[in-house]
Structure 1
Amino acid sequence: MVACIDWQGPILFDPRGTFGHLRGMVAAGQGVRVGPDGITAIDAGHIECTTSGSSGAPKRIRRSLESWTRSFVRNGAIFGLQDAVIGLPGTMAQSLTLYAALEAAWAGAGLVDLSGLRADRQLGQLVAHGVSHVYATPAQAEMILMGEGNAPSLRQWIIGGGRLSADLRQRLAHRFPQARVAQFYGASETSFITLDPGDAPEGSVGRAYPEVEIRTDGAGELWVRSPYLFEGYGLGGSPETRWSDDGFLSVGEIGQIDADGYVYVQGRKGRVVQVLDHLVSPEPAEVFLSERLGCPVAVVARRDALRGARLWAMVGQGPQGAQVEEALAAFRHRVGPTAAPHGWQRVDPLPLLPSGKPDLQRLEAMI
């Protein structure tokens, strides 16, 4: 397979000129690096995305362009991208947005920049340019839902970069009944791991994406082998990212695979905290509370002299205080007081990283 992109698709709305800049580099045959200083040229056939995770430590993900173009071919058939107009609510600093922009270029699809717009204006651009597909994180999809009205041209949501709750899926389907809702699970280091076109069991992130092998070890850690894996870190790194001797990669995610091949992800090992004599992951509480409350929720650790740590829920805009208390009580009844958030506070808006995920470091400082 030739790892090159002949950018044929139209750029329909690009107020900051970001897509135009990217197109010029692609046309010149250059590789691209996205970081704090914008988009710069690197050696041909390579892509580097500088990301800041929840810990705040920068990492530069280096991969071959071919590791993405292989999945362009797959997604072109799965999602029908050849005649698409793709809306992108994220900025190019988010690897999901860069991926989707290059995929649109490969497929000859149109591009519409939705980043930085209010919810009503995002919806207006969906309508004005006939957007058919939206690549978004759950938080970015929530933002679009804050606007009013439908977008009749929209036929596909592609959700990544975070867990798609059953509640958010239902609200997207209710507002945009003509559009399918798909989610994928992966990481910057792995690209696609699983895909759920909309029929996976509740709580699952779907089955293995084409050409992906997934296995678990004795500790429940997920390991992946595929042609979509990154080459390595150009800057920084993570102790949770490890390669096996036979080419499998782990980024420290814990999960399980059922008999039908559906994958269930419990969360990152790096987020586990000790509460009394128990090791607790905050991610089950985030999933439960966000689904129950219908708003973004992040759960972070608050240091406690007696217990080691306590979990604290940071709740976005929407529910009343009584609703939050009721949801916390329901989760506490389900898992017990140790694994449940001890308290909560309102954070409006919930601070996000460029990736569209909650900024856990800032949230911990706000408790």
Structure 2
Amino acid sequence: MTDSSAHLQMDLFRPALSYPNHPYDEILTRAAERHPEQVALLFNDVNLSYRELDALVNSCAHALQELGIRKGQIVCLFMTNRPEYIISWFAIARIGAVVTPMNPSYKEREVAYQLGNSEAVAIIVQAGLLPLIEATRADTPALEHIIVVGPAPQGSTTLAFSDLIRSHTPTPLLHTAWAWDDLLLLPYSSGTTGLPKGVMLSQKNLVYNGYQSVATARITSHDRMLVFVPLYHIYGIMLIGTATLSGATMVLMERFDPLRCLQYVHEQGITLLYAVPQVLPTLSEHPQLDRFDLHTIRYVQCGAAPVPPALAHRFEERTHVPVMTSYGLTEAAPGTHSNPVYDPRLIKVETIGLPIHDTEQKIVDIETGERELDVGEEGELIVKGPQVMLGYWKDPEANAQTVRDGWLYTGDIGWRDAEGYVTVTDRKKELIKYKGFSVAPAQLEALLLEHPAVSDVAVIAKSNAEAGEIPKAFVVLKAGYEDTSADELLAWSNGKLATYKNVREVEFIDAIPRNPSGKILRRILKEQERQRQQ
């Protein structure tokens, strides 16, 4: 492709959009008006139309208002994937309050930190997680209301979610005054170091990125989306918005289960499947895969962590379903890049794709972040667009480092080709420094995953007196390959990349630690290694 045709492809892929002027919650109101009897949500035995979902949201919003929750106040959502999550999310938005979603795998210390730091005045919590909230009450003085989804303990002073819904009218609310810069969502980033930071996302961030995502992915009311990614994660929040904006049907799973996932695709005619990288081998190598008809899936969107090309290619070979890689981050609400979905021939699975509508990109030098680099040169990816966050909650110093002149510094290292596609090689903070050379763990992981014996892998920096740091690989072997040796893997992988990138050590383990979005928790492996070296 010539330079001129490359620029034409980029321009045609991402023409400017026209954004309606309405608050976020109105995407549900509009969906209920356009598609009142369309199924909005399926979850086990629950089947809700858009008309019914909108009415339940109204009842919940009236209940929250009666409790005295007002615009700008923060309400925490603490539960697994379920209909009450989506109802609560829209209801909080409808009264102009702010949602702070919390990971249901959190322990007491993490729960107390987020509730205290966010100054949440209320929490809607799954019954099984209630003991964590009660254990942290002394540390969360701002928390006034606890609303429980499911049966609460006898004698509890909490409020029952179901009672609040039943006792309040489903009539529409009078909309409060709003502005594009009003805070709407306060998710906490999982940062590699230090305490999590609250990311301030506005009405504009969420509404604009919703329209950007629907246009990029070409989602319509005929689509049926299988959603098992956690709704507390920005990935899940994005899917709620894109489904509602387009009038699509969400088939919701509480958590990923490979067999149930295949059954849903087969039985429900799923057209869009959203995944994280490790879902791909789990499904493509499932022993019962051939029992299920997957032809209805238009594509699998894979994001939240780098996608090793070997995993994508294996999945496509086994299922004949294209993998569409994309990219985003919490600070961008979240989407910034995507491969074209309208023509599989234009998908470059080894890349994160092209910038989506109304989004600019640059690759800049790692040292200063001020010098823009040319095609093929590796540096930090920075982006600009209407989806970029307002800033970090109570952390102006971190915000000044991350957003400069409207450009969001992603912390991801990569390069762009002549057509504008970006390949992310690793995180800036995770680069291994071997004798002064930068080595990207993700590149080594992608290579090792091509070996037929390797099921999963993580590469970290190990301290070394001579080299400073060396790449060490933690490897999970596939069943039947237990006799594979470390020396065999080293001999196979080393020599395929520059010598300074050679893996120097291999350790076999049972499982790679990952967070719910699929990202490798390298800090756990690094800490284990550090303790051994002491």
TM-score, L = length of structure 1: 0.86
Distance (whole Å) between structure 2 residues aligned to residue 135 and residue 259 of structure 1: 29
The residue correspondences of 1:283-302 to structure 2 (distance < 5 A) are 283-293=442-452, 295-302=455-462
Could you tell me which of 434, 449, 471 is aligned with 1:275? 434
The residue correspondences of 1:11-160 to structure 2 (distance < 5 A) are 11-13=41-43, 18-27=82-91, 29=94, 30-36=97-103, 40=123, 46-55=184-193, 57-77=195-215, 78-147=217-286, 148-149=288-289, 150=292, 151-160=294-303
Which position in structure 2 is the counterpart of 1:349? 511
Higher strand share: 1
Distance (whole Å) between structure 1 residues aligned to residue 447 and residue 262 of structure 2: 28
Distance (whole Å) between structure 2 residues aligned to residue 145 and residue 114 of structure 1: 19
Q: Is the partner of 1:24 in helix, strand or coil?
A: helix
Decide which moves more: 257-266 or 142-151. Answer: 142-151
Deviations along 1:256-308, one digit per CA (max 9) or x if unpaired, are 22222222222222112322343333222122222445633211122223332
Distance (whole Å) between structure 1 residues aligned to residue 325 and residue 281 of structure 2: 14
1:205/1:23 CA distance change after superposition, 3 Å: same
Shift of 1:195: 1.2
1:183/1:306 CA distance change after superposition, 3 Å: same
Distance (whole Å) between structure 1 residues aligned to residue 504 and residue 232 of structure 2: 34
- AA in 2 matched with 1:230: M
Decide which moves more: 270-279 or 233-242. Answer: 233-242
Unpaired segments ≥5 residues, structure 2: 1-19, 33-38, 46-79, 104-110, 116-121, 125-177, 367-378, 530-534
Could you tell me which of 163, 180, 183 is aligned with 2:306? 163
Shift of 1:115: 4.4
Which position in structure 2 is the counterpart of 1:209? 356
Deviations along 1:43-68, one digit per CA (max 9) or x if unpaired, are 97611222324447422222113323
- AA in 2 matched with 1:50: Y
Is 1:226 aligned to residue 385 of structure 2? yes
Decide which moves more: 323-332 or 99-108. Answer: 323-332
Deviations along 1:180-204, one digit per CA (max 9) or x if unpaired, are 3211122221322221134244633
Percent of paired sites with the same residue: 21
Distance (whole Å) between structure 1 residues aligned to residue 302 and residue 261 of structure 2: 17
Shift of 1:119: 1.6
Unpaired segments ≥5 residues, structure 1: none
- AA in 2 matched with 1:258: D
**Aligned 8 A contact 1:61 1:235 in 2:** no
Distance (whole Å) between structure 1 residues aligned to residue 229 and residue 394 of structure 2: 23
1:239/1:211 CA distance change after superposition, 3 Å: closer
Could you tell me which of 284, 289, 314 is aligned with 2:474? 314
Distance (whole Å) between structure 1 residues aligned to residue 194 and residue 276 of structure 2: 19
Deviations along 1:184-232, one digit per CA (max 9) or x if unpaired, are 1222213222211342446332222121111122442222111111111
- AA in 2 matched with 1:301: A
1:242/1:213 CA distance change after superposition, 3 Å: same
1:66/1:144 CA distance change after superposition, 3 Å: farther
Distance (whole Å) between structure 1 residues aligned to residue 285 and residue 509 of structure 2: 17
Give the number of equivalent residue pairs: 365
Distance (whole Å) between structure 2 residues aligned to residue 115 and residue 95 of structure 1: 16
**Aligned 8 A contact 2:445 2:457 in 1:** yes
Shift of 1:157: 0.8
Using CA pairs under 8 Å that are at least 6 residues apart, name the structure with larger relative contact order, 1 or 2.
Answer: 1
TM-score, L = length of structure 2: 0.61
1:64/1:325 CA distance change after superposition, 3 Å: farther
**Aligned 8 A contact 1:273 1:280 in 2:** yes
Which position in structure 2 is the counterpart of 1:338? 500
Distance (whole Å) between structure 1 residues aligned to residue 218 and residue 315 of structure 2: 17
Q: Is the partner of 2:383 in helix, strand or coil?
A: strand
Higher helix share: 2
Could you tell me which of 182, 194, 201 is aligned with 2:324? 182
Shift of 1:248: 1.4
